[in-house]
Amino acid sequence: SLNELAKKAKEMNNSLSIDIPVSSQEFDI
């Protein structure tokens, strides 16, 4: 359903927003 797709997209965005700062911290070190 559309709700399921929206939920998956939101979860992907959440995981991306978490992964990006972690990877940027690794580069800073």
**What is residue 23's predicted lDDT score, i.e. its pLDDT?**
60
**What is residue 9's predicted lDDT score, i.e. its pLDDT?**
83
pLDDT in tens, 1-29: 889 988 988 888 776 666 666 666 666 65
Q: Fill in the amino acid letter for 28.
A: D
Structure tokens at 14: 């959440």
Burial-class residue 26 by CB neighbours within 10 Å (0-12, 13-18, 19+). Answer: exposed
**What is residue 4's predicted lDDT score, i.e. its pLDDT?**
93
**What is residue 10's predicted lDDT score, i.e. its pLDDT?**
84
